[in-house]
Amino acid sequence: MKILASIIIISITTFVSSKLLRKYENNHYQVIEKLDEIEIRKYKDLLYTSYTPKNKQDRNNSFRNVADFIFGNNNKNEEISMTTPVVIKSYNNNEMAFIMPEEYTLENIPKPNNNNLNTYIEKGSIKACISYSGYTNKNIENKKTKKLTEILKKYNIEHNNDFELLVYNSPWDVINRKNEIVVSIKYEAESDNYKNIYLGSGCFWCTEAIFENVIGVYNVYSGYTGGEIDNPNYELISTGETNHAEVCKISYDPNIINLENLLEIFFFSHDPTTLNRQGYDIGKQYRSIILFNNSIEEKIISNYINNINAEYFNNKIVTEVKEINKFFLAENYHQDYYKNNRNEQYCRVIIDKKLEDIKKSLSKYYR
């Protein structure tokens, strides 16, 4: 974290002078669980107005640019109550984001006169947080980030490397009441309401994109399973020699969508009759595969395949069905790949077409 609370203090001191800054905290999140020194939080959708510095020298201007908008430099000449914390997104060129009060939406919030400001909604997500009080600086932030990372690793929770610094009270108080380091995580709260199934239908980028917007699906994780070695990586499994398959762990609510529904989406969103390939993706890692948790699921899957094999696939289904042993989470850049890389050629040429087709034929399952 390269922007320190002291920079924020200097910025507001030079800019605000006699202005009185109103502040309050919205209830932005719900604590799901506490693990050692960290909290697992479920955040609401948040409306931000932010400034992204053009370069290192421009960082000192971040606060004054957004504060100018809040104090009335907007198309309505309206003063906006500023909430705390101030969010500094180090992963995005130290973007400084201010959370807008809950009464505002994208439609009714005043428009900044400053074209360098950005107003947008950040969708709700699950984040891990470590808190600390008092003055903050780069060394302290690095230590807290390291500690947060260690605890997440201890509990086998993957993070997205999008670390943020949240500063409460500062720059109003010389000594901050509270600071936080937060990061987005792949997290599934323990609950009897959710079940997991493991599906491989070729490249996991496609499988993830197919299932992540299905009604009743809580989360989708890309990873590897079915092979002979532990802790494989993408480079290794891509040789096809480890016998791993690219699969997605799909967490779903059986009260909303059942296993048979997921199997319908699975079988009609790829070709289960081609051995060790999907289109141009060729190799054992791209095989059609289902991994079940217990004998009940195994029977459901077997019955479903028997019913559709003759009717729809001319008895040519080659999908491998086996019990799950170990699932290894894929590297961070594979998670939410389609969401984050919509303009990549593979997404535009392959995934876009698959999504369009499956959402047409099975629209009842999609948001």
Catalytic residues: 203
Q: Are 152 and 142 in contact (CB under 8 A)?
A: no
